[in-house]
Amino acid sequence: MKHSNRPAARSGKTRPRQASAAPFDVLVLATMSAGKTSFINALIGQELLHTANEATTACMTRVEHRPGARSFDGTCYSYSDQELARLKDTTAAALRDWNANSDVKRISLKGSFKIVPSPAPGLVLHDTPGPNNSQDRRHAELMLEAVRSISFKALCYVLNASQLGTQDDRVLLEQIRDELAHKPGHPIYFILNKVDLLDPEMGETIESYVGNAYRYLTGIGFEQPIIIPTMANLALYARKALKAQTLTRSQRLRLHQALADLQDTKRSLLHATVVPDTIKKGVFKALNSLERQRQLKAFDEQTREKNDLQQLVAVSGLKTVEALIKHQRQTIKNP
Ligand SMILES: Nc1nc2c(ncn2[C@@H]2O[C@H](COP(=O)(O)OP(=O)(O)O)[C@@H](O)[C@H]2O)c(=O)[nH]1
Ligand SMILES: [Mg+2]
């Protein structure tokens, strides 16, 4: 392992105490490469966890939001729950190494999510390995252990819109349905990811794909599923651009294309979303307000670009998921 095994040095200064908040754990599940890790990075607002078009997530990763923290504290643990390494400022490269190390079972990260508005403290996201990796049975075991042992308050299940209803996906959904039968009252948000890959001119409209997903999920036994068409990658790129983080050439090109298509796609993305009315109205309101601002003010080019990026994030599905999480947290607090 490349990184220091020594515990991080403690500074002599006393830090201000973090406001303690009730934890709200969100478990993210899916088969391999549906976009779990990309979705979590978009929720964090930074490319922190490692993503790729291959079986990358090999261990459990817990990411806790600590508003105001300057960097991400990271610790990784072995299968016997021994601390293997710890870093004060955990980088994506360090996480890639930990993730590739077969001794590492779980990683814990604590830091400030770089999104606006900042979520309330206590939000914890859990990334899990896709259980359908035929090379490594441990992935499936870890996923199941996560569902059974983490006291999550909401579950995000990521569906790959461009490969809906594979056999692996159906098996996993049936497994989750059976596991959740013993845990009533846990909302599931179905993230219909990669909708940017659909080609409306080939008849692949958002509405038809959400309809397909609805029938698929109700057929498996999920009644009145909440379905959010999502573009996790583009939301992440837009959030990176809004925070002046460097984008790769390919990310810039894809973002540019998405912004060019935005006028045609933005309303259909929100209309097709299957969520409670109050949530949907809130997201439409935010989009309308951004559109009004863009028309009314004497915007310079830079402010207009920022407004476009905010509109993209507003319709990317991420804002809808964040609104659902916020609503669920309030419901738990004030039942
Ligand atoms: N086109 C597109 N690709 C995506 C999206 N989200 C993730 N991906 C890509 O899908 C691949 C797998 O993503 P990853 O987050 O590692 O999936 P995981 O295995 O479920 O964690 C990567 O190449 C991502 O860049 C999306 O919204 N649109
Ligand atoms: Mg992953």
pLDDT in tens, 215-259: 999 999 999 999 999 999 999 999 999 999 999 999 999 999 999
How far apart CA 325 and CA 327 sit, in angstroms, is 5
Tell me the whole-structure pTM to 2 decimals.
0.92
Is the beta carbon of 30 within 6 A of some atom in ligand 1?
Answer: yes
Which residue has the CA at smallest separation from atom 28 of ligand 1? 194
Give tens-digit pLDDT for 113-166.
Answer: 999 899 999 999 999 887 776 666 777 788 888 888 999 999 999 999 999 999
Nearest CA to ligand 1 atom 13: 35
How far is the centre of ligand 2, averaged over its atoms, from the C-alpha of 99 (Å)? 10
Long-range contacts of 255-261, Cβ-Cβ distance < 8 Å, separation of 24 or more: 255/312, 258/196, 258/231, 258/234, 258/312, 259/308, 259/309, 259/312
Q: Whose CA is nearest to atom 16 of ligand 1?
A: 51
> CA of 66: how far to CAs of 23, 111, 126, in Å?
11, 5, 15
Residue 197 neighbours by CB distance under 10 Å = 13
Q: Mean per-residue pLDDT for 61-76?
A: 96
Give pLDDT, residue 297.
67
Q: Which protein residues have a CB closer than 5 Å to ligand 2 (ion)?
A: 36-37, 57
Residue range 253-269, pLDDT digits in tens: 999 999 999 998 999 99
**b/e map 73-102, b = 16+ CB within 10 Å:** bbbbbeeeeeebbbbeebeeebbebbbebe
| Ligand 1 pocket member 57 (CB < 6 A) | yes
Question: At residue 13, does pLDDT exceed 70?
Answer: no
Residue 139 CB–ligand 1 contact under 6 Å: no
Out of 31, 32, 47, 51, mutate this one to test ligand 1's pocket (max ligand atoms within 8 Å of CB): namely: 51
Q: Which of 31, 32, 33, 230 to mutate to test the pocket of ligand 1 (most atoms within 8 A of CB)?
A: 33
At 17-67, the pLDDT tens digits run 444 678 999 999 999 899 999 999 999 999 999 887 665 667 899 999 999
Pick the residue whose CA is nearest to atom 14 on ligand 1: 35
Fold of 24-333: Rossmann fold (3.40.50)
Residue 6 has pLDDT above 50, yes or no: no
Q: Where are the domains of the chain?
A: 24-333
316 lines ligand 1 (CB under 6 A): no
Q: Is 108 in the pocket of ligand 1 (CB under 6 A)?
A: no
129 CB less than 6 Å from ligand 1? no
Amino acid at 126: H
Q: Residues 157-216: pLDDT tens digits?
A: 999 999 999 999 999 999 999 999 887 788 999 999 999 999 888 889 999 999 999 999
Evaluate the omega torsion of the peptide bond into residue 335 and state whether it is cis, within 30 degrees of 0.
Answer: no
Q: Residue 33: enclosing H or E segment and its boundaries?
A: none
Report the pLDDT value the prediction gives residue 171, as an integer from 0 to 100: 92
232 lines ligand 1 (CB under 6 A): yes
CB of 84 closer than 8 Å to CB of 5: yes
